[in-house]
Amino acid sequence: MASELLLEILDPDHDAGSELSPVYSAFEGSARLNYLARLADQSAGSLRTSEPQALANSLQSVLLSLQDTAKRSHRLIIDSTVRHSTLSLALATFGRAATDLQTAIPTLDAEALYFSATYSKAGESHHLLERQRSLLVLRNVERLVNVLELPTLLASATTSVPPNYSSALDLNGHVRRLHALYPNSPVIGLVSRQADEAILQLTSDLIATLKYPGLKLATAVRTVSWLRRVLSDLNQVSKASCGAEERALSLLFLRCRVATLDATLGALEPLRKLAEQEMTSKRTVRNTQVWSGGQQTERYLKRYIEIFREQSFLIISTFKSLFLAVGHSDRAQSDDALEPLHLPRSFLSSFTLRLVNMLLETLRIFLPVIKDPAARDSILTQVLYCSNSLGRLGGEFGTLMAEWVGLIKRHRLIARRLDSIIGEYRGVTKSK
């Protein structure tokens, strides 16, 4: 072609010693050929007149394009230049890292084989077992916190005002079930011990309630029912030992009420000392002298009999309601048919006899000090009322007193006199 021939004439050694890239060399050669082909198509006059102007316009256009590109992309160009200057260093660093990795691959492979051989069986690895336990604890941390809070909730239920014993016993039952399911767990064991301490405090509070002087039947029923639940949780009572539970509760109730009775009667100690002083003074009086004392002894005996009547009736009636009702008696006697002396009913009989003996012993000691017939009759009448009160519960003891016959005769005489007076009054009323 003419353009190629013209290029060889103008630049015979344009390919020699070229240091440009093949792509750039090909682009440059193509541009030259295109330009020479365009020149070959023009006349000599056109080349002299219009070509210089066309070259000047092209140069100006290229210059404006370069300026616009530099204005819009100068930051990218600068960044590219900076990064290009560090590219050689980065490539060298990458090469060294690749070499180090290639060197470390055999060591990594050996360690991987060792790990696979060591931890292939999870059940034989102590470290993996500890890790599994730690993860299990982490997943169940909320449940563990709830379990650890059970003793605190139980203590709060027992110390609140008023105490919520039902909730406390429900929480204790839950702790017992957890301990039965996980007997070897240290956490459950700790919670169970703390719950036992709270239940012991609850039991002490319930026993103190049974010792309250003004104990009512409803309060006694609730307290004994809670104590039954406590015994069931502490001893794991079965059906075969329900009778033993009832015996223990009945004895506990009687023991608490006897302690209350003794404490109430003990408050009369100042009057008792005065009565003892009168008894000592009576012994020093000669037979020829008339004894006119006994006022302090009378006060002591009246107050003693009044307290005895109220407390003994309350104790026995409450005991019957708690342990000798239809449901409770059947429960207590279900496995004790061969042990009649161990039944709550026998406990009540022995307890009633003890109370009566205590009253009769006090009367035997102090009643002889009182010589005034009216005062003696007043005290014996009060004893008669006490006997009748206990007689409603099966504890009548009047026949055990030496003065009983004379007392009954006097009361019958008084009753006949009252009947005659009433009859006379009615007759007078009708005659009018």
| pLDDT band with cut points at 50, 70 and 90 for residue 99 | very high
Q: What is the pLDDT of residue 347?
A: 81
DSSP label of 199: H
Tell me the CA distances in angstroms from 424 to 35, 150, 420, one per residue in order: 168, 78, 6
Q: What is the pLDDT of residue 24?
A: 44
Contact between 359 and 401 (Cβ < 8 Å): no
Residue 367 has pLDDT above 60, yes or no: yes
Residue 71 has pLDDT above 80, yes or no: yes
Q: Which residue has the higher pLDDT, 117 or 369?
A: 369
Residue 341 has pLDDT above 60, yes or no: no
**19 phi, psi to nearest 5 deg:** -105, 5
Please name the residue ranges forming H helices in 285-325.
Answer: 295-323
| pLDDT band with cut points at 50, 70 and 90 for residue 193 | very high
Q: What is the pLDDT of residue 288?
A: 46
Give 101-127 as a DSSP string.
HHHHHHHHHHHHHHHHHHSS-GGG-HH
Give 395-418 as a DSSP string.
---GGGSTTHHHHHHHHHHHHHHH
Q: What is the pLDDT of residue 74?
A: 81
What count of Cα atoms within 13 Å lies in the side-chain half-sphere of residue 129?
5
Average pLDDT, the chain: 80
Residue 411 has pLDDT above 70, yes or no: no
Contact between 153 and 198 (Cβ < 8 Å): no
H or E element: which one contains 14? none
Residue 14 has pLDDT above 50, yes or no: yes
Residues 261-266: contacts with CB within 8 Å, 24+ apart? Answer: 261/307, 261/308, 261/311, 261/312, 261/315, 263/213, 264/213, 264/307, 264/311, 265/304, 265/307, 265/308
* Lowest mean pLDDT segment, chosen from 39-53, 223-237, 316-330: 316-330
What count of Cα atoms within 13 Å lies in the side-chain half-sphere of residue 225?
9
Angle, helix 344-366 to helix 326-333, in steps of 10 degrees: 110
Category of 164 on φ-ψ map: left (φ > 0), alpha (ψ -120 to 50) or beta: beta
Residue 78 has pLDDT above 90, yes or no: no
Give 315-370 as a DSSP string.
HHHHHHHHHSSHHHHHHHHTT-TT-GGGSHHHHHHHHHHHHHHHHHHHHHHHGGG-
* Lowest mean pLDDT segment, chosen from 75-89, 124-138, 165-179, 267-281: 124-138
Q: Mean pLDDT across the stretch 43-50?
A: 78
Residue that is written with structure tokens 């506990």 in the block = 252
Q: What is the pLDDT of residue 121?
A: 64
DSSP label of 372: -
| pLDDT band with cut points at 50, 70 and 90 for residue 308 | very high
Q: What is the pLDDT of residue 402?
A: 61
* Lowest mean pLDDT segment, chosen from 33-47, 113-127, 159-173, 179-193: 113-127
